Amino acid sequence: MGTKRIYTANFQLKVCGITQAENAIEVAKLNPTMMGFILYPKSKRCVSLEQANSIADLLPKHIKKVAVVVNEPLEKVIQLAESTLFDFIQLHGNESPEYCQTVSKHIHVIKAFGIEKQLPDNLEEYANCCTYFLFDTKTENFGGAGKQFDHKILDSYHLNVPFLLSGGIDLDSIDRILTYSNKQLAGIDVNSRYEDEPGIKNIEKLSNLIKRLRPMIKKVSKEGYYGNYGGAYIPEMLQKNVSELAENYQRIIDDPSFIEDFQSLLKDYVGRPTPLFHAKKLSAKYGYKIYLKREDLCHTGSHKLNNVIGQALLAKRLGKKKIIAETGAGQHGVASATVAALLGMECTVFMGEVDIQRQYPNVMRMKMLGATVIPATSGTKTLKDACNEAIRYWISHTEDTHYLIGSAIGPHPYPDMVAQFQSVISEEIAKQLQEKEGRSYPDAVIACVGGGSNAVGAFYHFIDDERVELYGAEAGGCGADTDETAATLTIGTDGIIHGTRTILMQTEDGQVCDAHSISAGLDYPGVGPLHAHLHSIKRGTYLPITDQEALDAAFELTREEGIIPALESSHALALLPKLKMKPTDIVVVNLSGRGDKDMQTYIDLMNSGKK
C-alpha cells in the first residue's frame, strides 16, 4: 500500500469494447477520458471500421477515441491511423518494437502487454514510441476476458512510460488500485466487468465506478484544455518558464514529500480544516438547510492562502527565490506576502491604483509583511491591469522569479494547478457532510466567481457528480445589461485573455471591456477556463448578482448569523433567495473571505443611513 493519491487530476479512465451508438452516447455522458473500439475480428466486441467511425463521430471531441487492433498488417494500421477519427491506436497483440515505432510516427500508440507471471523482458525497447503501456491479463483471446493478474508484478516496473492498468477490473478492486503507489499508473481500462452482454455497457455499473474514481478523473487535457477552453497563449519570452511549470507541476505535487509539506502547512498554518457551519437562521428563512464553508476563517482571511502555499512550495522546488503576484481586493497579495515571509522569499505585488485606494488596509498589511507593492496605473487601474503589469514584469525576470497567479486563470498549467490546490475545500465539504448528514454530497454548492478560484475549489470533487448542482455568482455590478458590470459568463464571448482561451467581456473587434463591481476581487473581465467549460456544457449555472444585492446579503448574514462576510462572498450569499430548493435539500455556500477589508464600504453605507 502506498500514499493515497490526493491531487491526481490527470487520471485516465478508458471504457473499452464499444459497439452500439445509443449505448456509446450514454457511456459518453459519464465522461470517461477514453473510449475504445475493438477492430479484432475474433473479439465478441468486434466492430467494423465504418461502425466505429460512425459511432465515434457522435461522441464529444474531448473524449479520446482508441482503435484496438491485434497483429494486423502494418500497412493496414498506418492506413487506419491516417484515415479515421481515432486519437490512439492500441496494439493488443505481439507487435514488435519496430512495428510500434513505425505506427507511432502516424498516431499515439498504446502498447498492450498480456501479463502472466512477470513483465516482458524487452519492455524498454518499446519505451520511446508509446504514449502509454497497457498491462492486461494474458489470455488466449488476447483481451476482454474479465480476469485479473497479480498486480504485485508491477512493483518491478521502473520505466518512464505511464501505464493503464487493465484486466478484470471490477468495483471491488477499485479501492486497492487507488492506493497503489506506482507513479506511472496513469489510469485504468475497463471492459467486460461493466457489461450486460459483450459490447453493451451497463451504465449503472459504470456510473458507480465513476463515483468511486471521481476525485481522480481528468479534468484538464495534457495541453491544458477543458473542452474548448484553456491552453497556453503566451509570448515567446515566457515559453521557457511556463513550459518548465507545465512539465513538472504534476510530478512535484504528487510527490509524497510535497503532499506532506503542503498538508502540514494547511493544518498548522492556515488552520484547516475550516468549519462547515450550519446557518440555522438563514436555513429557516429560506426553507432549506444551509451550510457555510468557513474559508473566511483561514489565516489571512480568505481561501487564497491554500493556493499560495502550494505554489510557493512548488516555486521553491523549482529553485525560484522570488515571487510576484497580482491582486484585486488585496487578499491574494496579502496571502502571497505572508507566505513569502514564512518561506524567506522576496515578494512583489502588482495592484491597480484604484484598488490600492479601495483596499488600503491590505496594502499596509502587505508592506508590513515585507512585500513591495507596485501600483498598476494603466486602464481602469484594477485587477486586469495588475495582471498585465505582473506579466510584463515576469517577462524580464524569468530566471529567478515565479509568477504566483491567485486565481484559476492564466496559461496552462495555472488553472489546473490552482484548482488542485483549492480542491481541499470540496474534499473537506464531502467529509464534513458525511459526518454531519450521513452523506458526502450536498444538493447544491454556491460560490462567487471572479477568476474563479474559490468556486473551482468548492466545486472540484462534485464536478462529476450529477446529484450536485453547481452555482456561480458573478458580479453583475450595476446590472448585467449595463456597461458597469463584470458578469463575464452572462454577457461575454470566446476569446483570449492573460494567456488562456476562455469567455471574456470584449467589444466586437476584440477589445477587452472594462469591468465593474463593488467588490475589488470580482471585477475581472475574464473567467477561468474551467468555468467557461462548465458554463458551456451547462454543468454549472452562473448568475449575475448586482452590487446592491451583494450589499444586502452582506448585512443579512451579519445580522442573522453574526458573521461579516467579504463583499465577494456576499455575491454567493445573494443567490440563496433565488434558488428553488426543497425543505430537505442541503446547500453549501462557500464563504470565501471575511469582511474586514470591506469595512470602509460598509461604514459609508451605514453613515449614509441606507443600512
Ligand X SMILES: O=C(O)c1ccccc1NCC(=O)[C@H](O)[C@H](O)COP(=O)(O)O
Question: Are the CB atoms for 198 and 17 separated by under 8 Å?
Answer: yes
Task: Using CB under 6 A, pick the residue from 7, 103, 104, 189 that binds ligand X.
Answer: 189
Is residue 311 part of the contact set for ligand X (CB under 6 A)?
A: no
Binding flags for ligand X, 12-51, as an x/- string (CB under 6 A): ----xx------------------x-x-x--xxx------
Question: Are the CB atoms for 403 and 391 separated by under 8 Å?
Answer: yes
Query: Closest distance between ligand X and the C-beta of residue 115, in Å?
Result: 11
Catalytic residue among 14, 219, 304, 597: 304
Query: Closest distance between ligand X and the C-beta of residue 380, in Å?
Result: 54
Query: Closest distance between ligand X and the C-beta of residue 201, in Å?
Result: 11
Query: Closest distance between ligand X and the C-beta of residue 98, in Å?
Result: 21
Contacting range for ligand X; rule: CB under 6 A; set: 99-107, 139-147, 544-552, 571-579: 139-147
In the region spanning residues 461 to 520, those forming contacts with ligand X, defined by CB under 6 A, are none
Catalytic residue among 326, 549, 556, 568: 326
> Which CB, 18 or 527, lies closer to ligand X?
18
Is residue 167 part of the contact set for ligand X (CB under 6 A)?
A: yes
In the region spanning residues 372 to 391, those forming contacts with ligand X, defined by CB under 6 A, are none
Is residue 145 part of the contact set for ligand X (CB under 6 A)?
A: yes
First to last CA, the chain: 58
> Which CB, 45 or 320, lies closer to ligand X?
45
> Which CB, 32 or 521, lies closer to ligand X?
32
Measured from each CB, the residue nearest to ligand X is 144
Contacts of 256 (CB under 8 A, 6+ apart): 3
Task: Using CB under 6 A, pick the residue from 10, 19, 33, 191 that binds ligand X.
Answer: 191
Question: Are the CB atoms for 449 and 544 separated by under 8 Å?
Answer: no
Q: Which residue bears the cell 468486434?
A: 46
Q: Which residue bears the cell 492556515?
A: 270
Task: Using CB under 6 A, pick the residue from 8, 10, 192, 306 that binds ligand X.
Answer: 192
CA–CA dist 109, 156 (Å, integer): 23
Query: Closest distance between ligand X and the C-beta of residue 197, in Å?
Result: 12
| Cα 401 to Cα 241, 348, 371, 407, distances in angstroms | 9, 10, 14, 18
592 catalytic? Reply is yes
Task: Count interface residues toward ligand X (CB under 6 A).
Answer: 27
Query: Closest distance between ligand X and the C-beta of residue 15, in Å?
Result: 8
Task: Using CB under 6 A, pick the residue from 32, 95, 143, 311 that binds ligand X.
Answer: 143
Contacting range for ligand X; rule: CB under 6 A; set: 21-29, 187-195, 214-222, 452-460: 187-195
Q: Which residue bears the cell 513483465?
A: 119
75 catalytic? Reply is no
> Which CB, 142 or 291, lies closer to ligand X?
142
Query: Closest distance between ligand X and the C-beta of residue 9, in Å?
Result: 23
Instruction: Measure CA 385 to chain center.
Output: 25
497, β-bridge pairs = 500
> Which CB, 166 or 432, lies closer to ligand X?
166
CA–CA dist 478, 471 (Å, integer): 21
Q: How many C-beta atoms lie closer than 10 Å to residue 146's C-beta?
A: 17
Q: How many C-beta atoms lie closer than 10 Å to residue 198's C-beta?
A: 15
Task: Using CB under 6 A, pick the residue from 27, 28, 55, 68 that binds ligand X.
Answer: 68
What's the helix, strand, coil split of the chain in %, to 5? Answer: 40, 20, 35
Task: Using CB under 6 A, pick the residue from 67, 70, 371, 449 that binds ligand X.
Answer: 70
Task: Using CB under 6 A, pick the residue from 34, 80, 168, 352 that binds ligand X.
Answer: 168
Q: Name all contacts of 373-380 with Cβ < 8 Å and 24+ positions apart.
A: 373/333, 373/348, 373/349, 374/348, 374/349, 374/350, 375/351, 376/350, 376/351, 376/352, 377/353, 379/514, 380/352, 380/354, 380/514, 380/515, 380/523
Is residue 568 part of the contact set for ligand X (CB under 6 A)?
A: no
- φ/ψ of 499, rounded to 5, equals 85, 5
> Which CB, 149 or 471, lies closer to ligand X?
149
3-state SS string over 320-385? CCEEEEEECCCHHHHHHHHHHHHHCCEEEEEEEHHHHHHCHHHHHHHHHCCCEEEEECCCCCCHHH
Going by DSSP bridges, is the β-strand pair 346-352/229-230 parallel, antiparallel, or unpaired? unpaired
CA–CA dist 466, 464 (Å, integer): 6
Query: Closest distance between ligand X and the C-beta of residue 57, in Å?
Result: 21
> Which CB, 137 or 221, lies closer to ligand X?
137
426 catalytic? Reply is no
Task: Using CB under 6 A, pick the residue from 33, 166, 380, 569 that binds ligand X.
Answer: 166
Instruction: Measure CA 478 to chain center.
Output: 31
Q: How many C-beta atoms lie closer than 10 Å to residue 467's C-beta?
A: 11
CA atoms within 13 A on the CB side of 385: 19
Catalytic residue among 104, 192, 569, 592: 592
CA atoms within 13 A on the CB side of 431: 11
Contacting range for ligand X; rule: CB under 6 A; set: 163-171, 231-239, 288-296, 498-506: 163-171
> Which CB, 32 or 593, lies closer to ligand X?
32
Three cell numbers at 524? 475581472
Task: Using CB under 6 A, pick the residue from 5, 92, 303, 358 that binds ligand X.
Answer: 92
> Which CB, 87 or 585, lies closer to ligand X?
87
Binding flags for ligand X, 327-346, as an x/- string (CB under 6 A): --------------------
> Which CB, 161 or 169, lies closer to ligand X?
169
Is residue 201 part of the contact set for ligand X (CB under 6 A)?
A: no
Is residue 144 part of the contact set for ligand X (CB under 6 A)?
A: yes
| DSSP 8-state symbol, 258 | H
> Which CB, 142 or 441, lies closer to ligand X?
142
Binding flags for ligand X, 224-243, as an x/- string (CB under 6 A): --------------------
Q: How many C-beta atoms lie closer than 10 Å to residue 357's C-beta?
A: 13
Query: Closest distance between ligand X and the C-beta of residue 39, in Å?
Result: 9
> Which CB, 17 or 451, lies closer to ligand X?
17
Contacting range for ligand X; rule: CB under 6 A; set: 164-172, 246-254, 424-432, 572-580: 164-172
Residue type, 122: N
Edge-to-edge strand order for the sheet containing 401-403?
372-376, 346-352, 322-327, 401-403
User: Which are the catalytic amino acids?
Assistant: 304, 326, 592
Interacting residues toward ligand X by CB under 6 A: 16-17, 36, 38, 40, 43-45, 68, 70, 92, 136, 141-146, 166-169, 189-193
